[in-house]
Amino acid sequence: MFNRYRDYVPLWTHDTPAKRPRNLWYWAIVISSVALNTVLLCNLFRASGQQVCPQTEPCRDQSCPEPVSDTPLDNYQRLDVQPLVDGDSVNHLLTSENAVVTTLYTDAYALAVVTLGHSLNQVNSTARRIVLYLPEQVSPRALCIATSSGFDALPVARIDPPEGVNERFLDQYTKLRLWTLDQHGIKSVVYLDADTLVLGNFDELFSLPYTFAAVPDIFLDHRGFILSFNAGVLFLRPSTSVFEDMLTKVGTAEYPRHMAEQAFLNLYYAANAVRLPYVYNANLAIKSKKVIVWEDIWTQTRIVHYTLVKPFLDDADWSLAVEIERMDDVVNSKIGNQWGGLFDPELEAWARAWRDTRRTYEDAWATCKGLAHSNSTYVIGPI
């Protein structure tokens, strides 16, 4: 009788049985794993500065060029020769319908506002001047000084911030009241933070056909030049209905609350915000990030924004107003002593504007000294 185990004769001729062929999925996994590990190792060595991976294009000499950055500003080169503004495109403006607007939330920024107003006078800006202020936080004396260079004072109610806002920006949602200026006959607004200084006329902005425009922001970290805009300089067309819509969404929309109204406006206008050239908001962060960009825009700059250094604030306590008699010392103490002197030319520009402001309006300030005066205990810092 046949025994299936004892009498079994294999059909193959090899001494040992053949191995079963591997499944195709096995080899796919192996190849993918090798490729992934190769990429990871290449990136690791690249980060350490070692050239161990093949180049897309072989170096023609012994030194490989640095990789080109993703953004034209990080890889900035002087190429453009066209004027920034076409003078023929600026229409005749009805000045009563245009306004340059700033805000005053505490006494600490009063001398900044009066200096800003004087800088507007120096460039012959044709628009109305308005300062929105919080009457419960700004003393009559500070308001008198702030408006002496031409701003009309307009009291507004504070807009309470939602939860999670940085302490420095608790008052900043009040900026949304800019959109209610249509109630005062204003059709176009250029908003300027109080920590700005005007170097050139920007009336061309009032001819923009858009409803909102701002200048892209800059960060000192790896983010660098980004798409999001800085809210220190804005062009907008006021609309009370838009303001009311904003109020319904400011507390429910998802955005980084610690960045306050700037983050909200970036979300609100999102794809519809027009980006303006950097000369309309020459943020000091540009100079810190890329000096060559700053050097090229400086000669055409309309508005410089003192974000990283506040020339008019005492660094010992930003919440306190600097007395008129001390302002020269406060500004001069920062020249040569902050950021390794990087911003000395810009600090000196503000110092010159301040000294000229003081010479021009000091007699008018005599009438302000008899008014009630109190130091603010609120901390702000427009950025």
- Checking if the pLDDT of 263 tops 80, the result is yes
Say if CB 202 and CB 245 are below 8 A apart.
no
pLDDT band at 378 (very low <50, low <70, confident <90, very high): very low
Percentage of residues of the chain with pLDDT beyond 90: 56
| Range of lowest pLDDT (67-71, 103-107, 152-156) | 67-71
pLDDT confidence band for 313 (50 / 70 / 90): very high
Compute the distance between CA of residue 269 and CA of residue 212 in angstroms, rounded to an integer. Answer: 8
Domains of the chain: residue spans and CATH: 92-365 (3.90.550.10)
What is the spatial distance between Cα 153 and Cα 341, in angstroms, rounded to a whole number?
A: 36
Strands 212-218 and 128-133: unpaired
13 band by pLDDT with thresholds 50, 70 and 90: very low
| pLDDT for residue 153 | 98
Q: What is the pLDDT of residues 124-147, one digit of tens each?
A: 998 999 999 999 999 999 999 999
pLDDT at 350 > cutoff 80 = yes
pLDDT confidence tier of residue 123, bands split at 50, 70 and 90: very high
Across residues 185-200, what is the average pLDDT?
97
pTM: 0.76
Using 50, 70 and 90 to split pLDDT, how confident is the model at 20?
low
Confidence of residue 371 (pLDDT cuts 50, 70, 90): confident
